[in-house]
Amino acid sequence: MYKIVKSEKLADKIYLMDIQAPRVARNCRPGEFVIVKIDQTGERIPLTICDYDREKGMVTIVFQIVGASTQRMTSLKAGDCFQDFVGPLGKPSEFIHEDLEVLKGRKMVFVAGGVGAAPVYPQVKWFRNHGINTDVIIGAKTKDMLILEKSMKAVAGNLYITTDDGSYGRKGMVTDMVKELVEDQGKHYDVCVAIGPMIMMKFVCLLTKELNIPTIVSMNPIMVDGTGMCGACRLTVGDEVKFACVDGPEFDGHLVNFDEAMKRQQMYRTEEGRAMLKLKERDTHHGGCGHCGGDE
């Protein structure tokens, strides 16, 4: 059992929890995720790791209510437990393997949409802990939906806030802010990391491709087992079939087929849709079967 040490509501339908999970905390790195399960009958829920404290054995998760299982999670309080807390899963962000001196000479901008601020935070924190400042853009529908502003401000070099309705920060989309920084303020970026809703990441990538800025995205399609066996998180990246849970979750955003990913996500929500995908994709439907490379 994995004890909940802290449970906090960050915004409407968005919650943060600190979980006592020493093994995960010892081994996790920016970019990875966990799968949680409330009890024996509970659904397996994939969640990106927002923060971790190796000494205290603590892992922080942030989640948004999107269905019955996440609604149930909101009833859990400090002192309650998860039956399962599996991880770290996926591959860590590639930059943690790069030479620090090379990274220090690289200008980076992180773009977070909505709950995407949670997986962006540990990456930006990692850079700050290694003496590297990065620019961060956080977008939300309204001021009340904005999360982790204070935490992000503490680790970002420059923090820019946008809201769709103009209730806080700059009015408009995150793409408007990227364009303003590059075209109006003359900023140069070597890499963009965009994390948030698929539609947001798609339009960020369309813009950064136009601006010639290499872009990494963290894909968040439906996942079931987190090992590539179910085929739920299948993606097309360039001309290759990938599975977000084992090949990602981070990919070259300019190669991701977002339209296919979004359509597939909607289809996978129904039994009929899943059957159709299995028929259409045949031997490549599953990632961990050893036949399609999704588990390599």
* Mean pLDDT calculated for residue range 72-82: 91
Identify whether residues 11 and 37 lie together within a single domain: yes
pLDDT of residue 235: 82
DSSP secondary structure code for residue 269 in this structure = T
Establish if 193 belongs to a structural domain.
Answer: yes
The whole-model pTM stands at 0.84
Contact yes or no for 19/4 (Cβ under 8 A): yes
pLDDT of residue 222: 62
The pair of structure tokens assigned to 116 is: 């995407």
Domain of residue 284: give its range.
Answer: 221-247+255-296
| Residue 147 to residue 205: CA distance in whole angstroms | 23
| Residue 35 to residue 45: CA distance in whole angstroms | 5
CA distances from residue 135 to 172, 269, 270 in whole angstroms, order as listed? 18, 36, 40
The three state secondary structure string of 176-194 is HHHHHHHHHCCCCCCEEEE
pLDDT above 70: percentage of residues in the chain: 86
| Residue 145 to residue 168: CA distance in whole angstroms | 10
Establish if 94 belongs to a structural domain.
Answer: no
Picking from 89, 115, 132, the residue at the C-terminal end of a domain is: 89
The rounded mean pLDDT for the chain is: 86
pLDDT of residue 244: 81
pLDDT of residue 296: 38
SS3 283: helix
Domain count, the chain: 3
| Residue 284 to residue 296: CA distance in whole angstroms | 14
Least confident of 99-103, 213-217, 240-244, 277-281: 277-281
pLDDT of residue 246: 81
Picking from 89, 118, 135, the residue at the C-terminal end of a domain is: 89
Least confident of 45-59, 120-134, 230-244, 264-278: 264-278
SS3 85: strand
- Indicate the pairing of strand 170-171 with strand 250-252: unpaired
pLDDT band at residue 293 using 50, 70 and 90 as cut-offs: very low
Identify whether residues 232 and 138 lie together within a single domain: no
CATH number of the domain to which 123 belongs: 3.40.50.80
Helix residue ranges, H only, 156-268: 174-179, 198-210, 244-247, 258-267
Identify whether residues 148 and 207 lie together within a single domain: yes
Place of tokens 């969640």: 47
Identify whether residues 47 and 117 lie together within a single domain: no
Least confident of 118-122, 192-196, 283-287: 283-287
